[in-house]
Chain A
């Protein structure tokens, strides 16, 4: 349990840093060029770490289902949808909805054992937990930097 939470915390802090770095790249380049660079480096880093930890095993052929080859398209979907929502809504509002949606779908996928996950039975306690987190996200995002900047620009 603790190891799992620790790993998720590491992932989250790196995502937070990556978001800042990527947006710095995005200040100079458009979103497709930025996405291409980000995924290219992700690919090279994964390949390198794979070699470090597993040696040539990383290149061993495994039987795969066809859709595995298209899994990278999910990442393209992420970028497209998040960028489009940020264009149409205030950034803080967009990100709050994205995060709430992430949690909502996580609960649904756990409950139904989506894609071979071990089903985690849905309980009232889980719903309460997720709702409290969503309220926390909205509170955290309320009155934050981006909106102030927008007000400054507006005034």
Chain B
């Protein structure tokens, strides 16, 4: 039950993040908003890392540099998300974003990219993606 509550709250925070960034960008500009939220988030996470005495950053050197760089994508993610919310609203933006996210997972699993073990996609996955696209079309038009 607690797990479900955390998951629901997690989803709420993800959507709120896009909407809050979108609001902030109206006042100070989109790149500024992106820099501000990532910067203040970094400071907060750094403080929490110190509080919880998490010194596992020492293990970063054992991770492939490409994988370490994943965080930098956030700049383009937030910029695109904020601009999309301005253009088409929250619901359609999040829907399209989720489709692309799951399609990416689909491709990664099918072709075994990035050292992920290969996985044959079955009928439910194809129907699932199809339904999601149908849903976005219903929302958009």
Contact = CB atoms under 8 A, between A and B. Distances in A.
A58 B35 contact: yes
Given A64-B27, A74-B20, A106-B91, A16 B101 contact: yes
A41 B68 CA distance: 9
Interface of B: 2-4, 6-17, 19-24, 26-29, 31-46, 48-49, 52, 54-57, 59-60, 62-64, 66-81, 83-106, 108-109, 114-117, 119, 122, 124-125, 127-132, 134-136, 138-140
Contact of A4 (B84, B114, B124): B84
Instruction: Indicate the member of A19, A21, A141 with the most B CB atoms within 10 Å.
Output: A21
A14 B131 CA distance: 22
Interface of A: 1, 3-5, 7-22, 24-25, 27-33, 35-50, 53-54, 57-58, 62-65, 68-79, 81-82, 84-85, 87-89, 93-94, 97-107, 109-110, 114-118, 120, 125-126, 128-133, 135-145
A71 B100 contact: no
B98 to A, nearest CB: 6
B71 A40 contact: yes
A140 B124 contact: yes
A20 B124 contact: no
Given A72-B41, A75-B37, A136 B129 contact: yes
B79 A49 contact: yes
Contacts of B117: 145
Contact of A24 (B64, B95, B128): B64
Given A8-B100, A103-B94, A132 B138 contact: yes
A80 B115 CA distance: 26
